[in-house]
Amino acid sequence: MIMLLPRFQYHEPASLAEACRIMADLGGSVRPIAGGTDLIVNMRRKTVAPDHVVSLGRIKELCAMDLSGRTFTIGACCTVASLAESSDIASEFHALREGALSLGSPLVRNLATVGGNLVTARPAADLPPPLVAYGGSVTLQSSQEQRLVPLEQFFLGPGQTVMKPAEILTRIVVETPPAFSGSSYIKLGTRRALEISIVSVGSFLTLERPEGRIQSARIVLGAVAPVPMRARDAEKTLIGEIPSRSLFVKAGETAAGESKPIDDHRGTAEYRRAMVSVLTQKTLQAALERANSSQRE
């Protein structure tokens, strides 16, 4: 006998406007559902039992990806598998592709959505570090207003974001990287699928020119603070410098010093700090190689 989910009323709006209206009218105990890979698990464990569930799955505009202009727009209901399979993402956003391929399992990735991986605000989630590294923003929509929030300001703590109860995360907006940019994301776990990160790092670099100095850098650490965190001091060590192994070692050590890991059953704080250093170096090296070989002018 299968343990049943708590009962709820199900709503399936066909448009975003209708979804916003339903969210506003119902108030209180209402949850949107996209892929459902977190919500259904939480309902199964009885940690949430909403009276109403609002499906976002039939709203076409939430399922589209658009890389036609200077910005790349990803609908919140795009599946993680669709990110991993996108040729646009494979050519321009390596770290995002690596994040998508690190998430859950192939079975989970076919259901889970990019928006879901953000709104749940888990400190070890795989898509926030790459998306923060690209300087991404999210659009939050309610029946009252629409606002664009930089992802860096979106997360408040484990499970906590700036979203208001009736808001829906509709899309992720990322600037197309400048020429001579590269990125990389590495997740450290004890197994290679269905794993929650012990530490993860996403790095993004832009060079002045191939083999040139570092013009800008973003390093984002996952699972070592309550929210995905920028290693700003480590970034500063890189700006204006010629890339080298010793420079990346210094950046890695600086990032380790900035991280705020905890001890838990997945790893000790000391181990996590050491791995922040290693993963920072490795992601910077991979980002550098990609920046050097980037073809775009």
Partner 1 sequence: MKKTIHINVNHKPFELSVEPNQTLLEVIREKLGLTGTKAGCLVGDCGACTVLVDGKPVNSCLMLAVQADGKQVTTIEGVETPQGLHPLQTAFVDKGAIQCGYCTPGMILSAKSLLDRNPKADEAEIRKAISGNLCRCTGYQKIVEAILFASRYSP
Query: Rounded to whole angstroms, how far apart are CA atoms 79 and 222?
Result: 21
DSSP at 280: H
Distance of closest approach, residue 284 Cβ to partner 1, in angstroms: 26
Alpha-carbon distance 136 to 185, whole Å? Answer: 15
Instruction: Identify whether the C-beta of residue 239 lies closer than 8 Å to the C-beta of residue 166.
Output: no
Contact with partner 1 (CB under 8 A) among 26, 111, 149, 247? 111
Nearer to partner 1, 49 or 242 (CB): 49
Amino acid residing at 40 = I
Minimum distance from CB of 2 to partner 1 (Å)? 5
Answer whether 260's CB lies under 8 Å from 284's CB: no
Q: Read off the DSSP letter of residue 28.
A: S
Which residue in the set 20, 22, 32, 37 belongs to the binding site for partner 1 (CB under 8 A)? 37
Least CB distance to partner 1 at residue 98 (A): 14
Length of the chain: 297
Q: Work out how close the CB of 108 gets to partner 1 at its nearest, in angstroms, rounded to a whole number.
A: 6
Asked if residue 10 binds partner 1 (CB under 8 A), the reply is yes
Measured CA to CA, the distance from residue 111 to residue 37 in angstroms comes to 7
Would you say 106 or 212 has its CB closer to partner 1?
106
Considering beta carbons, is residue 54 or 279 the nearer one to partner 1? 54
Kindly state whether residue 148 participates in binding partner 1, applying the rule CB under 8 A.
no
CA 47 to chain CA centroid, nearest Å: 23
Interface mask (CB under 8 A) for partner 1, residues 177-196, using x and -? ---------------xxx--
Least spacing, CB of residue 102 vs partner 1, in Å: 11
3-state secondary structure 1-18: CCCCCCCCEEECCCCHHH
Q: Which residues make up the interface to partner 1 (CB under 8 A)?
A: 2-10, 12, 33, 35-37, 40-41, 43-45, 53, 55, 57, 81, 104-108, 110-111, 192-194
